[in-house]
Structure 1
Amino acid sequence: MNKRAVIVAVFVMLLFSAIFSAKEPTVEATSGLINIETTTMKFVLNTELGVLERIDMKVEGKSELIYRYANDGFDIFEDNEKLIPGDFDYYVDENTDVVVEFYYEGGTKTFVIKNDPFYNFLVITNFPGKTLKMKIPYISVSAQDERSGYGYHVSFSDKPTSVFVTTSDVGRFSLREITNISGTAVVRNYAGPKKLVYISEAVPNHYEEVKQSLDDIGALSIFSYIHHGLVVSLYWFRELTNSFGWAIIIFTLIIRLILYPLYHIQTKSMIEMRRLQPEMEKIKKKYKDKQKQQEALMKMYKKEGVNPGTGCLTLLIQLPVFFVLYSVIRYFSEMFAYSPRFFIWNDLSTGGFGQNILLILISVAAGIYMATITSQDGRSARQAMIMSLIFPFLFYSLPTGLFIYYATNSVIQLLITMIVYKRYDMKGVSFREVLGLPAKPAK
């Protein structure tokens, strides 16, 4: 079988089409409550008081309570008297956002639950000729984890790690409330994990102030900024291609190219050790004493200019990078559900055997061919192939977006290995050798 043909086929399988697939929210009205669920959030609104009762954020399939009502669910007051709605209505608009309107004497308050991955929602008040005060939610245990400024309020919690941001260009912010609200006021909110890219999308007008507040609170670290730089890079590719599938592939390719010198050193070291294998076997047979054997091996390494630890060292340097890269892609797991269709996948946020079978096969194929290139004999190739068959199946439940990274990384590593081994004229084994068959007769 032609190896080049297989590699070309692997890349052909990664072609895609971009057809957007919207995710419909669910709305359920019960006695005194409205339950709203989107891909990323669960809301409960109290229809008797016209307030936000509860928020749960959904991260990677897990739902975590981040806010519960404590007389701070956007309650509105006029002259210190709490206003109670007389009626309400709700519907799903053309953008698939959920709109809940509360009707008061002299005005309205509207909740707009955005059906997007950015954990955001709006609260819009319209009370012509009135000046109001609004109590705003907070999730921090202590006031030390809150900040207020011109047009914004931030509260932070580390159990679970989450941020609640409220912003508005109308009214005056103080700790846990907005005063002097008049006319129509649009209050933008973010209630979700500590993800700066998501916050910037939810509250763009006050993002810099919010980021500085989180830094002042101590919610951000040096690693947060390094990680954020990589996250922004991946997000830029997503904006460029309008596809997280292609963004992950391009991002992974660029990172692998940057790391190529290290991988080349590692592979070269492995090749040199492989070439010295016959001499090493002779030394082991000649010297039964372990100390003399080690001395002879070190003498040989020095003579040949080989450092046996080089390959391990470069591998250790690369491993943290791959873990960080994995976490960067995982950062956008909520957005996978809203990403355009990629090839055969409607939703990159889901996983499972059926969903990831094509990527599993790509990873297995790449691993099998890698084994034929890097192995010295049929026995070692078979062992490597068994691992290549087993390993991808261990991750079958990963979201497809993450598995695209895994499969892409496998294919890129195969291509780089082919290039390096060809450069040093290293021969692997054929499939006939792997199967224990005699060599194919020359034509």
Structure 2
Amino acid sequence: MNDQNKNLILACVLSFLVIIGWSFFFPAPEPPLPTETQQPVGEGVSTPIAADPVETVSNSATEQETLQSALSEAPRVPINTPELGGSISLLGGRIDDLALKSYREELDPESDIVRLLSPFGANDAYYALYGWAPGAGVELEDVPGPNTLWTLEQGDELTVDTPVVLLWDNGNGLSYRRTISVDKDFMFSIEQSIENNTAEVVTMAPYGIVARHGEPDIIGFFILHEGIVRMSDGTLDETDYDDMTEFEFLEREGARADVIRVETDGWIGFTDKNWMTTLIPQPGTSFRSVAKYDERRDIYQVEAVLGVQTVQPGTTASASSQLFAGAKEWEAIRDYQNEGGIKGFIDSIDWGWFFFLTKPIFWLLHELNLLIGNMGWSIIALTFIIKALLLPLAYKSYVSMARMKELQPEMEKLKEAAGDDKQKMQQGMIQLYKTNKVNPAAGCLPILLQIPIFFSLYKVIFVTIELRHAPWLGWIRDLSAPDPSSILNFFGLFPWDTPDPGSFFFIFSLGVLPILLGVSMWLQQKLNPAPTDATQAMVFAWMPWIFMFMLGSFASGLVLYWIANNMLTFTQQYVIMRSQGIKPDIFGNIKSSFKKPKQDAK
């Protein structure tokens, strides 16, 4: 077997491995509280782990039956805003029933509304609760806990205009109130107060908890963080669910925990791809930020424990905080940061390592969408802007590539003359480049510039909710999903189904956009000089079709960007080549009147 055949087999094997590899990688008794002077931000406070359900539900029950059974365990106060629907349980005063009215599970407008929070006892219970940790001289039964039954003192429904007030009296001279209000988007405000009608001084610390029972179903894609996200005095910290099981075990907490003392500003919560539930103490407030995992009950929990309150007889003490529970909409989160004073809140969106690119790229895409009203056309407009910005840097590279394309026949002659003498071939090429003042490395600049931009746009399309279920035109009704058309059923002409997007064989179920991508890459490649090495030339020749398969399962918005980018690059190179005296046709074939640069006079 000669070397050429070996290279051919090697290139085919490598191409196949690239396809497989790409599909694999690209397809989470209580100790007394210290005094205020000793522990000003609740150090040593042991907050509760959520209690067991009052009543268990049969495993044979459906998910909906389980949910309804859990919702019926206690009296409830309805939640009704433009964005949110659900209820608050008077058992523990938990915010544990929350759905997002503007978002559905599937593209079908008749599909279920997205449910964010679920009550204790339902499948995948996920809820927020508040309370007071007892201090010196206060018994555990004297403070409200997860299973305390509150009464409704004010309001019969939580709306944007009507807050609700919950009341609990411990019967021993301490009265607790919890005032809950909500804005038009996704932010709850919670004010906890205690009235001391005893003859003794009492100390206790207010806290907020978000509990998640069992590890949720996660996408598990390396480009996306799912788990805990928190800001602590300007430092962003992201923790996966798996990493929580490796926390240090704290005896007094009865769980594995990671504790950070926040001096002035911070927040902590759980983040999913599109949704988030976050505890936010008042800006400027010191608190104890706790990420906790209870191995016994398989409960993931985050806590914000505020400073110790000392309540004199006949006085009232209070503490205020916020709870974000909803969709990670960039505009809403930005307003909470800029207008609400929640420092670093925009970083709850996973911008990644290239945040210096992803943030401005998304801002520009968002502004274009406000102007155009369609995310697909906005992506194309964004491509035009990026190419225009990069053109001054890329112009010389395109000129160099045009000259190298012109020199292709002479390079072939060099190759024939050199034969198997690679050193002679290399020396001849260097001299040819030097004579014609061509820099072969300059052609790499556009590619090097495109790599971080492409990755950043991919990150933006993948992690931001604004492209979820966003249509473009015709059959592209969700730019965050792969092209639903398929060559396997001749683009809908035949009735059989195509492979699911999560399956390996989906990469062979090519849609219209992936095919256009392959063609656009092939056209662009025709304008570029071919490598002199036969194996490299063969691999490059295969690349458009390999990428066509590789990107078949990628988001339509990303494929649309790449098609637009390829066609703009082709147009730019075509025009520049003609300006240099090279006259390619639409398939890259050259009809040249290119004149070599004159030699410098000696």
TM-score, normalized by the shorter chain, greater than 0.5: yes
Match of 2:149 in 1: 84
Match of 2:562 in 1: 406
Shift of 1:426: 2.8
Deviations 1:109-157 (CA, angstroms, capped at 9, x unpaired) = 668698x8xxx442567999999985313656533274655xxx51278
Shift of 1:371: 5.4
Match of 1:437 in 2: none
- 1:351–1:396 CA contact under 8 A, matched in 2: yes
Higher CA-based Rg:
2
Structure 1 pair 53–209 and aligned structure 2 pair: CA distance change class (3 A)? same
Shift of 1:273: 1.7
Match of 1:422 among 578, 582, 591: 578
Shift of 1:240: 3.4
**Structure with the larger helix share:** 1
* CA distance in structure 2 between the partners assigned to 1:287 and 1:346 by the alignment: 56
- 1:353–1:397 CA contact under 8 A, matched in 2: no
- Give SS of 1:144's match: strand
% same residue: 21
Q: Which amino acid aligns with 2:473?
A: F
- Give SS of 2:91's match: coil
Q: Which amino acid aligns with 1:343?
A: L
* CA distance in structure 1 between the partners assigned to 2:205 and 2:587 by the alignment: 76
1:73 maps onto 2:128 in alignment: yes
Match of 1:206 in 2: 340
Match of 1:21 in 2: none
Shift of 1:335: 1.8
- Give SS of 1:342's match: coil
Shift of 1:368: 5.0
* CA distance in structure 2 between the partners assigned to 1:50 and 1:202 by the alignment: 25
Match of 2:69 among 12, 31, 46: 31
* CA distance in structure 1 between the partners assigned to 2:167 and 2:450 by the alignment: 61
- 2:351–2:459 CA contact under 8 A, matched in 1: no
Shift of 1:320: 2.7
* CA distance in structure 1 between the partners assigned to 2:354 and 2:577 by the alignment: 36
* CA distance in structure 1 between the partners assigned to 2:588 and 2:132 by the alignment: 82
- 1:110–1:123 CA contact under 8 A, matched in 2: yes
Deviations 1:95-114 (CA, angstroms, capped at 9, x unpaired) = 9xxx9989757988668698
1:51 maps onto 2:99 in alignment: no
- 1:301–1:307 CA contact under 8 A, matched in 2: yes
Q: Which amino acid aligns with 1:187?
A: Q
- 2:357–2:456 CA contact under 8 A, matched in 1: no
Match of 1:154 in 2: 267
Match of 2:403 in 1: 272
- Give SS of 1:206's match: coil
1:122 maps onto 2:193 in alignment: no
Match of 1:8 in 2: none
- Give SS of 1:236's match: helix
* CA distance in structure 2 between the partners assigned to 1:314 and 1:372 by the alignment: 16
Q: Aligned residues, how many?
A: 376
Structure 1 pair 316–338 and aligned structure 2 pair: CA distance change class (3 A)? closer
Which 5+ residue runs of structure 1 have no aligned equivalent?
Answer: 1-25, 434-443
Match of 2:427 among 288, 295, 304: 295
Output the TM-score relative to the length of structure 1. 0.61
- Give SS of 1:74's match: strand
Match of 1:236 in 2: 367
Q: Which amino acid aligns with 1:330?
A: F
Match of 2:382 among 251, 254, 270: 251
* CA distance in structure 2 between the partners assigned to 1:221 and 1:121 by the alignment: 25
- 1:248–1:329 CA contact under 8 A, matched in 2: no
Structure 1 pair 243–123 and aligned structure 2 pair: CA distance change class (3 A)? farther
* CA distance in structure 2 between the partners assigned to 1:221 and 1:172 by the alignment: 28
Match of 1:137 among 190, 209, 231: 209
- Give SS of 2:324's match: strand
Deviations 1:28-79 (CA, angstroms, capped at 9, x unpaired) = 8332249x9xxxx9x9976633324699999x99x9x999999993324698
Structure 1 pair 400–263 and aligned structure 2 pair: CA distance change class (3 A)? same
* CA distance in structure 2 between the partners assigned to 1:108 and 1:127 by the alignment: 6
Which 5+ residue runs of structure 2 have no aligned equivalent?
Answer: 1-63, 73-78, 107-113, 134-141, 170-176, 198-203, 211-227, 231-256, 289-303, 310-316, 487-509, 531-535, 590-602
Structure 1 pair 45–413 and aligned structure 2 pair: CA distance change class (3 A)? farther
Q: Which amino acid aligns with 1:359?
A: L
